[in-house]
C-alpha cells in the first residue's frame, strides 16, 4: 500500500459541550460541563485508530497533519477550555512513543475559530510593518485578507500564534510549527497536473456572505466581489463576530451559547425571536426603537430562518440546493481565480476539493466551469451532535492522501439509529489518472488485520453520541428556560434504543 502522506481532519470543535471529542462531566448540575483536563474516550480511540494506519507506512517520512477549521470551538466554549482540549489531542498525536505526524502542521481556519485567522493576520502584518523602511516609503500596504494558495509562495510563513504557543507549552514539542493558510490551502503533485485544495467550507453557504449580499442589494451598481481576498475582506467581520467572538462575551456569551442550542429547534427559535421583539416593544418609549421595531421583527425572523435551515440542519441530502449553488459559485469564482493566478494562468487537469463545515461526510464529483475534468469533492463531516434525533447523514471522516495525492475517505462514524449500526467505512476518492482504489484496499486490509480498535471506536462513539443528543434535548425542552406552556411546542425525541 502507498504510504499515507497527509491526514485531513476538520470540525473537531474542541471544547464544545456537544463535541464527542470533549470530555463532558455529567455532574447533575443544570448543564453538563466540559472537563479539559481529560482526553475523551472517543478522542483516545480516534488517535489509536490513526496510529494503526500510520504505523503501516513503509518509509520513515511522517505524514503531515492538516486541520481544516472549527478545531477550537471559540463561539460556544471558553478560550481556555477549547485550548486545553486541543492540548490533550496534540499530546496524544505528537508525544506518542512513536510520533504520528511531521513537526509542521497546517491550519486552515473555519468560522468557529475564524478569530485565530485574525490573530495570525494581524501578527503577520505587524511583522511586515516592523520590517518596512519608513525612510524609503512612508506608505504602508493594506493588510492582506488571504494567504497564497500554495504555502511556498509566501516569503515568510504565517504562523498560528495561539495554536503554536499551546503546543510549545510542552517542552518536547517546541520544534513544532503551525502554519496558517486561509481560506484555501493547495498541494500539487510532482507533475503539476493534480491538485488538492483544502478549505473549511463555510463560504459555500450564503449566510457567511451576508454582508456582500446585503450591500449588493443596497447598492446595485456595486461591483460584485470576485477574488478570494475580496470575499473575505467584505465578510470577515461578520463571520468573526457571530461565530468566533460573540459567544466569548462573558456572561452574555453563555446566553449566546444557550441561544445556539435553541437554534436546533424551530419552536425554540421562535421563542427567542418573540422575546427579543417583545423586549424592543417594552422600550418603545424611545423614539428610535419605536420607529425601527416594525422593521426589525421581520429581519430577525428572516435571519433566524436562515440559521435554522442552514446546511447541517438539512438531513435529507448531503448538500441542499442552496449550498450546491454556493459551492459552485465559490469553486468557479474565487478559487478558480486563485488557481489561475498561482498556476501560471492554467488550472491543473485534476482537482480535488476537500472541505468540512456541513458535518455530513460524503464523496462525489461535480462538473464546474473552468475545470478540465470537473472537480472531485470529499467532505470530512464533523465531530459534534447537532440534532436530538439520529441523522445518519451526519458523522465524521478522516481524509487520507498518499504521495501521489490519491485520496481515501475513512468514515469513522455516522449517527445511526442504533449502536450496532455504527461502523467504520473506507471509500476511495475518485480521481482521473489516479490509483485511489488500490490505496483504499490497502487501508481496508490494515483495518481488517486488527478489528479491535475500530470496533471499540464504533461502540464508544455510539454511546457518546446518544449522551450528547440527550443533553441537547434537555436543553431545548427545559421548561424554566422556555417559559410557561412552551414545552408542548418543542421538538420531541423519538423513542430509540440506546447504545449498549
pLDDT band at 288 (very low <50, low <70, confident <90, very high): low
7, 63 Cβ separation under 8 angstroms: yes
pLDDT of residue 202: 95
* Closest to 179 (Cα-Cα) out of 197, 159, 161, 163: 159
Angle at CA of residue 433, ends 428 and 435, nearest 5°:
40
pLDDT of residue 19: 95
Give exposure, 398-437, as e/b (b: 16+ Cβ within 10 Å). bbbbbebbbbbbbbbbbbbeebeebebebbbbbbeebebe
pLDDT at 372 over 80: yes
- Backbone angle region of 92, left / alpha / beta, with phi > 0 → left and psi within -120 to 50 → alpha: alpha
Specify the residue for cell string 498518499. 402
Within 10 angstroms of residue 186's Cβ, the number of other Cβ atoms is: 22
pLDDT of residue 253: 46
Within 10 angstroms of residue 126's Cβ, the number of other Cβ atoms is: 11
* Closest to 199 (Cα-Cα) out of 334, 23, 301: 334
- Global pTM reads 0.87
Q: Which of 89-98, 378-387, 475-484 has the lowest mean pLDDT?
A: 475-484
Alpha-carbon gap, residue 184 to 360, rounded angstroms = 20
Within 10 angstroms of residue 143's Cβ, the number of other Cβ atoms is: 13
CB within 8 A of 425, min separation 6: which ones? 410, 411
pLDDT of residue 362: 96
Which tens digit of pLDDT belongs to each residue from 170-224?
A: 999 999 999 999 999 999 998 889 999 999 999 999 888 888 888 888 888 888 8
pLDDT band at 307 (very low <50, low <70, confident <90, very high): low
Alpha-carbon gap, residue 469 to 234, rounded angstroms = 36
Could you give the 3-state DSSP secondary structure of residue 474?
helix
Which tens digit of pLDDT belongs to each residue from 436-467?
A: 899 999 999 999 999 999 999 999 999 999 99
What mean pLDDT comes out for the span 135-151? 87
Could you give the 3-state DSSP secondary structure of residue 396?
strand
Taking the CA atoms of 352, 358, 362 and 367 in sequence, report the sign of the dihedral they define: negative
pLDDT band at 492 (very low <50, low <70, confident <90, very high): very low
Could you give the 3-state DSSP secondary structure of residue 381?
strand
- The burial of 125, by beta-carbon neighbours within 10 Å (0-12 exposed, 13-18 middle, 19 or more buried), is given as middle
Residue 366, H or E segment: strand 362-366
450 or 241: which leads in pLDDT? 450
- The burial of 153, by beta-carbon neighbours within 10 Å (0-12 exposed, 13-18 middle, 19 or more buried), is given as exposed
Alpha-carbon gap, residue 44 to 88, rounded angstroms = 10
Alpha-carbon gap, residue 1 to 445, rounded angstroms = 9
Within 10 angstroms of residue 58's Cβ, the number of other Cβ atoms is: 8
Q: Which of 66-75, 161-170, 274-283, 484-493 has the lowest mean pLDDT?
A: 484-493
Q: Which grid cell sits at 490?
A: 418543542
pLDDT at 290 over 50: yes
* Closest to 48 (Cα-Cα) out of 423, 447, 421, 385: 447
pLDDT of residue 78: 86
467 or 134: which leads in pLDDT? 467
38 or 134: which leads in pLDDT? 38
pLDDT at 494 over 50: no
Alpha-carbon gap, residue 297 to 70, rounded angstroms = 31
Specify which of 27-36, 170-179, 271-280 reaches the highest per-range mean pLDDT.
Answer: 170-179
pLDDT of residue 155: 77
Alpha-carbon gap, residue 458 to 455, rounded angstroms = 5
- Helix and strand element counts for the chain (H, E): 14, 14
Alpha-carbon gap, residue 110 to 16, rounded angstroms = 15
pLDDT of residue 481: 47
Alpha-carbon gap, residue 324 to 320, rounded angstroms = 6
Residue 25, H or E segment: strand 24-25
Contacts 24+ apart (CB under 8 A), 188-194: 188/150, 188/343, 188/348, 189/404, 189/405, 192/343, 192/348, 193/348, 193/349, 193/350, 193/433, 194/348, 194/349, 194/350, 194/351, 194/352, 194/404, 194/405, 194/431, 194/433, 194/434
Domain boundaries, the chain: 4-248+310-489
206 or 412: which leads in pLDDT? 412
What mean pLDDT comes out for the span 278-288? 57
Q: Which grid cell sits at 397?
A: 471522516
Taking the CA atoms of 176, 179, 180 and 186 in sequence, report the sign of the dihedral they define: negative
Which tens digit of pLDDT belongs to each residue from 100-130?
A: 999 999 999 999 999 999 999 999 999 989 8
402 or 288: which leads in pLDDT? 402
pLDDT at 148 over 50: yes
pLDDT of residue 262: 47
Q: Which of 104-113, 175-184, 341-350, 481-490 has the lowest mean pLDDT?
A: 481-490
Could you give the 3-state DSSP secondary structure of residue 81?
helix
Q: Which grid cell sits at 468?
A: 450528547
Taking the CA atoms of 275, 276, 279 and 285 in sequence, report the sign of the dihedral they define: negative
pLDDT at 491 over 70: no
pLDDT band at 297 (very low <50, low <70, confident <90, very high): low
pLDDT of residue 496: 35
10, 355 Cβ separation under 8 angstroms: yes
The mean pLDDT of the chain is 84
Alpha-carbon gap, residue 287 to 320, rounded angstroms = 42
103 or 76: which leads in pLDDT? 103
Could you give the 3-state DSSP secondary structure of residue 318?
coil
pLDDT of residue 499: 35
Amino acid at each position: 500500500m502507498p504510504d499515507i502522506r497527509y491526514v485531513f481532519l476538520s470540525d473537531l470543535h474542541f471544547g464544545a459541550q456537544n463535541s464527542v471529542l470533549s470530555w463532558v462531566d455529567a455532574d447533575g448540575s443544570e448543564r453538563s460541563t466540559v472537563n479539559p483536563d481529560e482526553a475523551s474516550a472517543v478522542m483516545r480511540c480516534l488517535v489509536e485508530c490513526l496510529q494503526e494506519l500510520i504505523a503501516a507506512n513503509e518509509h520513515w517520512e511522517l505524514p503531515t497533519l492538516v486541520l481544516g477549521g472549527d478545531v477550537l470551538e471559540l463561539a460556544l466554549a471558553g478560550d481556555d477550555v477549547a485550548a486545553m482540549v486541543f492540548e490533550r489531542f496534540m499530546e496524544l498525536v505528537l508525544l506518542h512513543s512513536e510520533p504520528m505526524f511531521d513537526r509542521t502542521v497546517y491550519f486552515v481556519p473555519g468560522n468557529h475559530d475564524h478569530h485565530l485567522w485574525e490573530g495570525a493576520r494581524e501578527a503577520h502584518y505587524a511583522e511586515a510593518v516592523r520590517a518596512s523602511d519608513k525612510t524609503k516609503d512612508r506608505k504602508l500596504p493594506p493588510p492582506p485578507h488571504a494567504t497564497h494558495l500554495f504555502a511556498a509562495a509566501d516569503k515568510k510563513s504565517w504562523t498560528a500564534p495561539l495554536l503554536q504557543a499551546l503546543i510549545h507549552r510542552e517542552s518536547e514539542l517546541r520544534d513544532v510549527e503551525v502554519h496558517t493558510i486561509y481560506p484555501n490551502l493547495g498541494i500539487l503533485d510532482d507533475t503539476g497536473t493534480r491538485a488538492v485544495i483544502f478549505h473549511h467550507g463555510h463560504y459555500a453557504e450564503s449566510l457567511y456572505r451576508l454582508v456582500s449580499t446585503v450591500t449588493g442589494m443596497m447598492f446595485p451598481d456595486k461591483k460584485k466581489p470576485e477574488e478570494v481576498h475580496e470575499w473575505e475582506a467584505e465578510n470577515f467581520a461578520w463571520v468573526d463576530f457571530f461565530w468566533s467572538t460573540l459567544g466569548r462575551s462573558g456572561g452574555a456569551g453563555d446566553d449566546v451559547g444557550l441561544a445556539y442550542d435553541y437554534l436546533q429547534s424551530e419552536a425554540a427559535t421562535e421563542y427567542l425571536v418573540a422575546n427579543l421583539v417583545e423586549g424592543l416593544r417594552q422600550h418603545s418609549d424611545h423614539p428610535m426603537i419605536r420607529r425601527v421595531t416594525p422593521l426589525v421583527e421581520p429581519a430577525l425572523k428572516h435571519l433566524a430562518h436562515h440559521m435554522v435551515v442552514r446546511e447541517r440542519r438539512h438531513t435529507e441530502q448531503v448538500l441542499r440546493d442552496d449550498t450546491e449553488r454556493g459551492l459552485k459559485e465559490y469553486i468557479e469564482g474565487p478559487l478558480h481565480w486563485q488557481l489561475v493566478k498561482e498556476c501560471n494562468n492554467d488550472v491543473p487537469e485534476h482537482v480535488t476539493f476537500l472541505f468540512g463545515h456541513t458535518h455530513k461526510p460524503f464523496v462525489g464529483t461535480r462538473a464546474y466551469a473552468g475545470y478540465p475534468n470537473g472537480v472531485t469533492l470529499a467532505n470530512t463531516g464533523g465531530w459534534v451532535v447537532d440534532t436530538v434525533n439520529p441523522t445518519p447523514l451526519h458523522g465524521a471522516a478522516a481524509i487520507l492522501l498518499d504521495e501521489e495525492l490519491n485520496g481515501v475517505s475513512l468514515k469513522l462514524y455516522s449517527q445511526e439509529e442504533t449502536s450496532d449500526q455504527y461502523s467504520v467505512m473506507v471509500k476511495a476518492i475518485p480521481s482521473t489518472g489516479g490509483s485511489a482504489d488500490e490505496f483504499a484496499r490497502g487501508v481496508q486490509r490494515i483495518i481488517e488485520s486488527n478489528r479491535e480498535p475500530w470496533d471499540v471506536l464504533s461502540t464508544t462513539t455510539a454511546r457518546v453520541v446518544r449522551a450528547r443528543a440527550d443533553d441537547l434535548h434537555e436543553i431545548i425542552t427545559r421548561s424554566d428556560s422556555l417559559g410557561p406552556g412552551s414545552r408542548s411546542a418543542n421538538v420531541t425525541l423519538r423513542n430509540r434504543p440506546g447504545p449498549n
